[in-house]
Chains A and B, each alone.
Chain A
């Protein structure tokens, strides 16, 4: 049995909203990520997926903080460390070496007045260990990284961000994140706002890089297609909690939480017959004012009285696979059936 590279246990993240008020953006989140595995965090805007992603690298904004739980990484040297307890300097050495992040919005992730080459210098210098790299070493590394994402290093290193297309910038961000060979890469909406053909080339690049370098990957997305394409495992988030997790096959073919079923029924496929699509009634609750019991109950067609009172915990349904197999947080998980009605034949 292999050991997870990242174990998150009962993690809660709160944002302070006033002198005495706060909202919980991620609540009791637990999962394991294994070396080389790819996990998708899916959910709609405001479900807490970006907060969780930032929390995994302790990159939360000033008003946000981990209020509970642990985030344990197994480091390259074999030691395990809970990063919720790390001091600033230790965090600096942890980030980029062990885990790196590709932020949402490639357009806004660069300093517009610095050339791409200088971004590599800055990143490598600020996260380097005892040994200071020379300029030539940095250029050599940047050249290697950029060729890995199929860009022309000479031209790109000399360019300013505005001279490059969105797809190129996204690839550069991925190259930058891989600069110090992290074991875990967290990507926040890596293909949103890119054209479809560019999206495709980023997806293929990520497949290739992962095969070649063997890093594990957590990517945050609202696009179920991307999750189906890239993920070994999928975790659905709703109102700050993971409400279902399992292998991509489990979650897509046998979803057992009504919210996951709702999401899948809302996504049109491009291949094959045309299924009937339906939306989930109502809208997501405000995190500051969550419904009692299961936060999904006001929108759920399967809800019974007990759903109003009890917060369901993530319960294992089929134990096959790592990280507890397929689990859902629904009192009626056993009754949920998913079928697709076809309205037009291909």
Chain B
């Protein structure tokens, strides 16, 4: 694992695997993933729909038990920890869902939603105290004046306001890790950046660590500039490294394709830009994975006999900063060293 900061990871996934057993056979949604979330840092998970981003996030939040591997919080396995530690973990790791229209209970007021956890965990004693705490939380997410939002119902709020309420709810427990699953993708551009800036303040001022999931590489670049990006494809991480390196100098052909596919908000750049053409635009089914490197049927660098023969290991390149799983690039980069895998 690339090591740049001295702070120990809060949340750690190692060899995490999630297999769903279905009538049509086993679906390996997450196939041995190693990730670390550190305080005040962002780990951004990017990839297409169905690549296992959300499944990974759910395992990281302790919502599902991985079929193999571990999820550790402060060094302790979250699936075997005792109930006191489990409760501390539940408070410290909070999840923000994608769709604020679905994640808020329509019959609860903002006050009730935001303080549900506090009341459940008996962290507030009186209603006055709870309301004061709720108001404080709403101010933290820029819903001001907070008093005017406390007694509103979700239907009285816009999408951006709802998502802020969902974030306030997650912050109520004083989390150390926030898992944000496409939390800004349904919002309009202006509201999206204002939410990202709010989350950025939590990251910088409260030292909250983020597992940030998005399919939008421009958002990943903006929010995780000081952090890392991990690119997922069919349940596996194919490239990982510091954000500026991944965005400006991607190595894996899949990462290159993703970055070159982004519509650039600049007409001249958009016209001059060369996009990476894939050999196929269809994603293979998880129930019938291609042999060898699972990306080979789409890969522009595909070499028969090499890429379809064996799966490339996730190996360290560029010193210790980056990990990459590609036979062709690794070969051209010189001898690869064994990775953390």
Residue of A nearest to B188 (CB): A44
Complex CA–CA separation, A74 to B91 (angstroms)? 64
Q: Mark A27-64, 1 if CB is under 8 A from B, else 0.
A: 00000000000000000110000000000000000000
In the assembled complex, the CB of A208 is this many whole angstroms from the nearest CB of chain B, namely 13
| Cross-chain contact of B264 among A45, A165, A198, A269 (Cβ < 8 A) | A269
Contact call A228/B270, Cβ cutoff below 8 A: yes
| Cross-chain contact of A346 among B244, B261, B266 (Cβ < 8 A) | B244
Contact call A229/B263, Cβ cutoff below 8 A: yes
Considering only CB atoms and an 8 Å cut-off, how many residues of chain A contact the other chain? 44
Given the known inter-chain contacts A195-B215, A271-B269, please indicate yes or no for A200 contacting B261, CB distance below 8 A: yes
Residues of B within 8 A of A108 (CB): none
In the assembled complex, the CB of A272 is this many whole angstroms from the nearest CB of chain B, namely 8
Contact call A203/B218, Cβ cutoff below 8 A: no
Contact call A252/B263, Cβ cutoff below 8 A: no
Complex CA–CA separation, A229 to B236 (angstroms)? 31
Contact call A280/B265, Cβ cutoff below 8 A: no
Q: Mark A261-276, 1 if CB is under 8 A from B, else 0.
A: 0111011111110100
Contact call B275/A269, Cβ cutoff below 8 A: no
Contact call B188/A222, Cβ cutoff below 8 A: yes
Residue of A nearest to B254 (CB): A197
Contact call B193/A278, Cβ cutoff below 8 A: yes
Complex CA–CA separation, A222 to B159 (angstroms)? 15
Q: Which of B65-73, B118-126, B219-227 contacts A (4 or more CB under 8 A)?
A: B219-227
State which residues 249-284 of B face A: CB under 8 Å.
Answer: 257-270, 273, 275, 278, 281-282
Query: Is A163's beta carbon under 8 Å from chain B?
Result: no
Complex CA–CA separation, A271 to B266 (angstroms)? 10
Q: Mark B206-237, 1 if CB is under 8 A from A, else 0.
A: 00000000011111011001000000000000
Contact call B263/A225, Cβ cutoff below 8 A: yes
Query: Is A199's beta carbon under 8 Å from chain B?
Result: yes
Complex CA–CA separation, A248 to B265 (angstroms)? 10
Residues of B within 8 A of A228 (CB): 263-267, 269-270
Most buried by A among B161, B221, B261, B273: B261
Complex CA–CA separation, A204 to B276 (angstroms)? 12
Residues of A within 8 A of B194 (CB): 279
Query: Is A322's beta carbon under 8 Å from chain B?
Result: no
Contact call A199/B189, Cβ cutoff below 8 A: no
Most buried by B among A268, A269, A278: A268
In the assembled complex, the CB of B189 is this many whole angstroms from the nearest CB of chain A, namely 5
Most buried by A among B215, B218, B261, B263: B263
| Cross-chain contact of A264 among B161, B222, B265 (Cβ < 8 A) | B265
Contact call A196/B215, Cβ cutoff below 8 A: yes
| Cross-chain contact of A196 among B191, B192, B225, B258 (Cβ < 8 A) | B258
In the assembled complex, the CB of A258 is this many whole angstroms from the nearest CB of chain B, namely 12
Complex CA–CA separation, A239 to B244 (angstroms)? 38
Contact call B225/A197, Cβ cutoff below 8 A: no
In the assembled complex, the CB of A138 is this many whole angstroms from the nearest CB of chain B, namely 27
Considering only CB atoms and an 8 Å cut-off, how many residues of chain B contact the other chain? 45
Q: Mark B67-95, 1 if CB is under 8 A from A, else 0.
A: 00000000000000000000000000000
Contact call B275/A196, Cβ cutoff below 8 A: no
Given the known inter-chain contacts A165-B282, A270-B259, please indicate yes or no for A249 contacting B267, CB distance below 8 A: yes
| Cross-chain contact of A199 among B221, B222, B263 (Cβ < 8 A) | B263
| Cross-chain contact of B190 among A201, A270, A280 (Cβ < 8 A) | A280
Residues of A within 8 A of B221 (CB): 268, 270, 274
Given the known inter-chain contacts A228-B267, A270-B218, A344-B244, please indicate yes or no for A44 contacting B259, CB distance below 8 A: no
In the assembled complex, the CB of B255 is this many whole angstroms from the nearest CB of chain A, namely 12
Contact call B267/A248, Cβ cutoff below 8 A: yes
Contact call B48/A195, Cβ cutoff below 8 A: yes
Complex CA–CA separation, A224 to B189 (angstroms)? 9
In the assembled complex, the CB of B263 is this many whole angstroms from the nearest CB of chain A, namely 3
Residues of B within 8 A of A279 (CB): 190-191, 193-194, 197
Contact call A267/B218, Cβ cutoff below 8 A: yes
Complex CA–CA separation, A45 to B257 (angstroms)? 30
Residues of B within 8 A of A277 (CB): 193, 196-197, 222
Query: Is A226's beta carbon under 8 Å from chain B?
Result: yes
Q: Mark A192-223, 1 if CB is under 8 A from B, else 0.
A: 00011111110110000000000000000011
Contact call B259/A197, Cβ cutoff below 8 A: no
Complex CA–CA separation, A44 to B247 (angstroms)? 28
In the assembled complex, the CB of A74 is this many whole angstroms from the nearest CB of chain B, namely 27
Residues of A within 8 A of B265 (CB): 224-225, 227-228, 252, 264, 267, 269
Residues of A within 8 A of B2 (CB): none
Query: Is B103's beta carbon under 8 Å from chain A?
Result: no
Complex CA–CA separation, A308 to B172 (angstroms)? 40
Query: Is B22's beta carbon under 8 Å from chain A?
Result: no
Given the known inter-chain contacts A249-B268, A270-B218, please indicate yes or no for A197 contacting B278, CB distance below 8 A: yes
Query: Is B158's beta carbon under 8 Å from chain A?
Result: yes
Most buried by B among A203, A204, A227, A279: A279
Task: Please report B residues at the A interface, Cβ cutoff 8 Å.
Answer: 48-49, 158-161, 188-194, 196-197, 215-219, 221-222, 225, 244, 247-248, 257-270, 273, 275, 278, 281-282
Known: A197-B257, A225-B270, A269-B266. 6 other contacts (CB 8 A): A196-B258, A200-B260, A200-B275, A223-B189, A263-B189, A277-B193
8 example contacts (A-B, Cβ-Cβ < 8 A) are as follows A197-B48, A199-B263, A200-B263, A222-B189, A249-B267, A252-B267, A253-B267, A274-B222
Closest 9 CB pairs of A and B: A225-B263, A279-B194, A200-B261, A268-B222, A44-B188, A248-B267, A268-B218, A266-B193, A224-B265
